[in-house]
Amino acid sequence: MKDQVGRIIPYLPARLARAVESSSFSKCFDEINELRLRAGKPTTVTADGKNLFLSENGGLWERSTRPLVLTADELRECVTRLCGGSVYSYYDSIKNGYITKENFRVGITGKGIVTNGHPDGFSQYTSINIRIPAFFKNSANDLLSYIARYGTENTGGILVISPPGVGKTTLLRSLAYSLSKGYTDGGRFCIKRVCIIDEREEIYSAEFFSDTICDVISSLPKGFCIELCTRVMSPEIIVCDEIGNYDEAERIKNAASKGVLFVASCHGKDVYDVIKKPFIRELFDIGVFSTACVIGFSNGARVCSIKRADEMSHA
Amino acid sequence: MLKFFGIFLVFISVCVYGNMKALKIKEKLRQQDGFLSFLKYVRICVSTNGTPLCDIYRSFNNDTLQKSGFIGALTVTDSTDGIRYALERCKKSVLLDKADVDALCEFASAIQTARSRDEGEKLCDKYIGILELNFCSKREENEKKAELYKKLSVLVALSSALLLL
């Protein structure tokens, strides 16, 4: 994680970079999940689910005492740096409210522009949320033990569920790594042809996956990628983030009918919350997903609870 | 004998000086063409596939700008403001007027924040127009100057030689 925070420093406005580089801040590198920059408002840090105020000298405080307040120009400078001095080349992703830089997913909000009735980016940036990716190879241990015990034939497709910022992507990344590097499947050693659909370039990192046999399609719409990779890469497992609409669910259904197993994620508090979305419910009903893995916090620690579809059929 | 040798030396020096001046002006004209083709190249890359500036800079090639060191400085920097940095580093070898250098620096800052390809394309068009206007207005004058330096240097050299004789 230390390396990850260090990698973002060159893209930050000078005052924030100084605060992040300071010794008091660097002590907390390991716990940091997000850096939140706001124009004319305090800069905060999300560390283990807590919101902390960042001061000019790099101190982190639970209360807002002399916080670091950035200007709109500093936010613009940060966006320009994140775009490598070529904002136009990130036009499509900025239009959708994010930039991906070296696996950092940076969310952007501000005063929007509408052209011909469609959102067309921002004329002014008011908030930037830099999410620090966690490259842990053992985040999916609970799920891997489950697979080792029951085998993928019995677990079927897996849907990872959690509210935003709890660790869905970290778990997916770690699971994709293990499945394509070698794991125990119902007592047997297995390596699967995994294809990662990485629409926003936040799951895959060439460095992290260097010793695996996984393939990746990135920066293209998820639905299109699912169809494409099923056709041309003949994957055994497809890993993708955040199923969000009917079209994506439909493409997943089609690919699953050809024998591809899916590991995907969805925003929600628990299983009962996500199956309120008809397209997710349908994916469970027809057996695309047979296992749900819910991530949450219990007594300050991250916990992962795994449920089979038949266990939740009463919902 | 020594007198003739001295006169010959004066004659050659004046001729060489004049020709050097003329060559410098011609080099300046070639650089102007080089910078225009550079901006046109940026425009094509921005409008066709939204290539990031650093990749555009790395892929551009032009013998005159290469000789001036501009391309070397442009590709060696990680700075997002590559053009400004390269112009600063090659102050002596880039022979553009101050107004043209300023226009290029202004372009370098503006293109970085262009929101979309369309905006980038329009910016390129704007600065290509400004530079073309600047260059064209002085081109004829500079070409005449170069010829004049050449002829004048021979004339002055001959006159000095005759006087000394």
ipTM for the predicted complex: 0.74
Binned at pLDDT 50, 70 and 90, residue A58 comes out as confident
| φ, ψ (nearest 5 deg) of residue A314 | -75, -15
C-alpha distance from B63 to closest chain A C-alpha (Å): 26
Q: Which of B46, B82, B112 sits opposite A80 (nearest CB)?
A: B112
For A123, name the nearest residue in chain B, comparing CA atoms only: B115
Q: Is B106 helix (H, G, I), strand (E, B) or coil?
A: helix
pLDDT at A219: 85
pLDDT at B78: 66
Sheet order of strands, A194-198 included: A215-218, A194-198, A237-240, A261-267, A157-162, A289-298, A301-308
C-alpha distance from B142 to closest chain A C-alpha (Å): 36
Could B117 and A85 be called an inter-chain contact, meaning their C-beta atoms sit closer than 8 Å?
no
Q: Is A121 on the interface with B (CB under 8 A)?
A: yes
For B50, name the nearest residue in chain A, comparing CA atoms only: A89
Residues 288-307 of A with CB under 8 A from B: none
pLDDT at B79: 67
Could A88 and B54 be called an inter-chain contact, meaning their C-beta atoms sit closer than 8 Å?
no
Number of helices (H) and strands (E), helices first, in chain A? 12, 16
C-alpha distance from A95 to closest chain B C-alpha (Å): 10
Q: Is the per-residue pLDDT at B66 higher than 80?
A: yes
Q: Is the per-residue pLDDT at A105 higher than 90?
A: no
Q: Is the per-residue pLDDT at A300 higher than 80?
A: no
> For chain A, what is the mean pLDDT?
88
Neighboring chain A residues of B79 at a CB cutoff of 8 Å: 85
Binned at pLDDT 50, 70 and 90, residue A213 comes out as very high
C-alpha distance from B96 to closest chain A C-alpha (Å): 25
A98 DSSP β-pair partners: A107
Residues 233-272 of A with CB under 8 A from B: none
Q: What is the mean pLDDT of residues B45-65?
A: 88
Encoded amino acid at A284, one letter: F
Strands A261-267 and A237-240, how do they pair?
parallel
Render pLDDT for B32-43 as a digit per residue (tens, 0 to 9). Answer: 999 999 999 999
> For chain B, what is the mean pLDDT?
88
